[in-house]
Chains A and B, each alone.
Chain A
């Protein structure tokens, strides 16, 4: 089978991540593995034949085997509400991939990397972290409920910095604003490492601009933007 062939995916396990997000572990016969950061295309078919197609980043590490996708529910969305609120074990849809060869991390890249994620932008970064990427991670979230994988990141001892843009947890003394130049400078003044930035368009635009302003080589900055 080729990556471009559609195959049947069976939901093997569902794990709620936040009130608005869930991780689905997929059983995909013939799955040939992926690179950390890649995505799959999924296709859902309704009883009347109506089909919807979307792309979701893979959250699991290549070594984990069965691919996992983490989906954050989009207000007024069509596929994401199904993934987060309707799906249950043994449900099926179609999947193909993996795709994408740019926003990826391979173990051959042994130098430290910087990662900056906003909202669901954390998903492909998490795949890289789980794959062993030597990363410092800066996460921007609206509030505590908006942070994916927090327990696991802490358990893994990941070098993690957080900023809350709307509501801070009780007793929070850290950053509580959008990512800006001063924050990026304080977080990591050294330029040179490869930087991965993923999140909503406005977030990625402003963070990437700030990184260039701070002296990072644009060629070292890899971005992925979600609507």
Chain B
């Protein structure tokens, strides 16, 4: 490994909680491909569809009435920032899928604005993922994915699709927006799976 003359650590980090190649960020940067959608809540709904035994749709009121969880997680963006101890409220994907039988091992999250991302089912079940609608004690701001976003904190943050509206279950893995543009299909920050080929 060759070193760079005159370069040294300037930031103190909580190294054990920083995946390789990440740095500690105190703000909350934003990564989006286009303008932020502003869907009125009376036109908002969330559904699970595709290769499942029963499709379900919730209006905003019905969604808020589902059992929710408060959780604190670290988030890791592929652009190399990591933010520790972020506080969210959301509905576990396990809750959305309660009583439904899955007929495929993958899903596509489809969002307002047309953004998509693909995930294996096992990465969103077992208490690992939520549809989150509150951040840091407040409503989730549109620029951070409000009214509701997917939250899959153990994967790079582009998998935590902002403005999510549909979870489409599939038998085969189908690449989403960033994945078709060269980003990794799984995106595990601890394995540094940033791009296809990592």
Contact = CB atoms under 8 A, between A and B. Distances in A.
Nearest to B3: A45
B62 interface: no
Contacts of B181: 100-102
A52 B5 CA distance: 14
Interface stretch (B7-15, B64-72, B121-129): B7-15
B6 interface: yes
Nearest to B195: A4
Interface in B49-83: 79-81
A46 interface: yes
B23 interface: yes
B120 interface: no
A53 to B, nearest CB: 4
A180 interface: no
A48 B195 contact: no
A22 interface: no
Given A82-B7, A201-B29, A49 B1 contact: yes
Nearest to B114: A219
B4 A92 contact: yes
Nearest to A201: B30
Interface size class of B (residues with CB under 8 A): 35 or more
Interface stretch (B34-42, B85-93, B149-157): B34-42
Nearest to B192: A53
A209 B36 contact: yes
A31 interface: no
Interface residues of A, number: 49
Interface in B14-36: 21-23, 25, 27, 29-36
A103 to B, nearest CB: 8
A8 B194 CA distance: 19
Interface string A196-211: 0000010011001101
A45 B4 contact: yes
B23 A101 contact: no
Contact of B29 (A3, A45, A225): A225
A94 B195 CA distance: 17
Contacts of A211: 35
A133 to B, nearest CB: 19
Interface in A170-227: 201, 204-205, 208-209, 211-212, 218-219, 221-223, 225-227
Contacts of B143: 201, 205
A47 B6 CA distance: 9
Contacts, number: 114
A221 B80 contact: no
B113 interface: yes
B3 A46 contact: yes
Contacts of A221: 34-35
B37 A218 contact: yes
B2 interface: yes
Given A45-B3, A86-B6, A223 B35 contact: yes
A78 interface: yes
A219 B80 CA distance: 27
A218 B34 contact: yes
B36 A227 contact: no
Of listed B8, B11, B34, B177, residue having the most chain A CB within 10 A = B34
A54 interface: yes
B77 to A, nearest CB: 10
Interface in B104-157: 113-114, 143
Contacts of B182: 99-101
20 contacts: A4-B195, A4-B198, A45-B7, A47-B3, A48-B9, A50-B9, A52-B23, A54-B80, A77-B10, A78-B9, A78-B10, A79-B7, A82-B4, A82-B6, A92-B4, A101-B182, A201-B30, A223-B33, A225-B29, A225-B32
Interface of B: 1-11, 21-23, 25, 27, 29-37, 79-81, 113-114, 143, 177-178, 180-182, 194-198
